[in-house]
Amino acid sequence: MIYRSCNKGNQFNRIRLVEREKIFSICFYIMEKEEFNRKLGAYIRKKRLEKKWTQEMLADKMGNNFQNISRIERGELSPTLFWCSKLAKIIEIDLFDFIKEAFT
C-alpha cells in the first residue's frame, strides 16, 4: 500500500486508501513505461496550458529548467514521484487526484 491511514477509525480514509491503491496499481503495473510517460507528459502539458504558463514559467516555479519540462511533456523523461508531488502542489491539486486525472 502506498498510503497508510493515520486515523484507523475513519471509514472514509480507509475507502479512499483502497481507491488510491487501485489507481496506483493500474498506473504502475499495467502500462508500459513509454505509455506511462506519454500520458503523464500530456497531462502535465494540459495543466500547464490551463494555467497559461510557458515551459519557462513552470520550470522557474519547479526550480528546474525548461528543457526538462519539455522532455517530460513529450514523454522522453520520467518524472519522479517527488517531482510530481511538487508539481501537484504548485498547480494546487492533491497528488492522488493529479495521478488519477492523468491516467483516467
Domain shared by 7 and 19, yes or no: yes
- Quick: pLDDT tens for 56-87: 999 999 999 999 999 999 999 988 889 999 99
Range of the domain at 9: 1-30
Domain shared by 26 and 38, yes or no: no
High-pLDDT (> 70) share of the chain, %: 70
Band (pLDDT 50/70/90 cuts) for residue 32 is: confident
Mean pLDDT confidence for 35-43: 91
Band (pLDDT 50/70/90 cuts) for residue 46 is: very high
Domain shared by 42 and 84, yes or no: yes
Q: What is the CATH number of the domain that holds 70?
A: 1.10.260.40
For residue 30, the number of C-alpha atoms closer than 13 Å in the C-beta half-sphere is 7
pTM, two decimal places: 0.70
Domain shared by 51 and 99, yes or no: yes
Domain shared by 25 and 36, yes or no: no
- Quick: pLDDT tens for 4-23: 434 444 443 444 545 555 55
CA nearest neighbour of 78 among 46, 34, 45, 43: 34
Domain shared by 40 and 76, yes or no: yes
Q: How far apart are CA 73 and CA 95, in angstroms?
A: 18
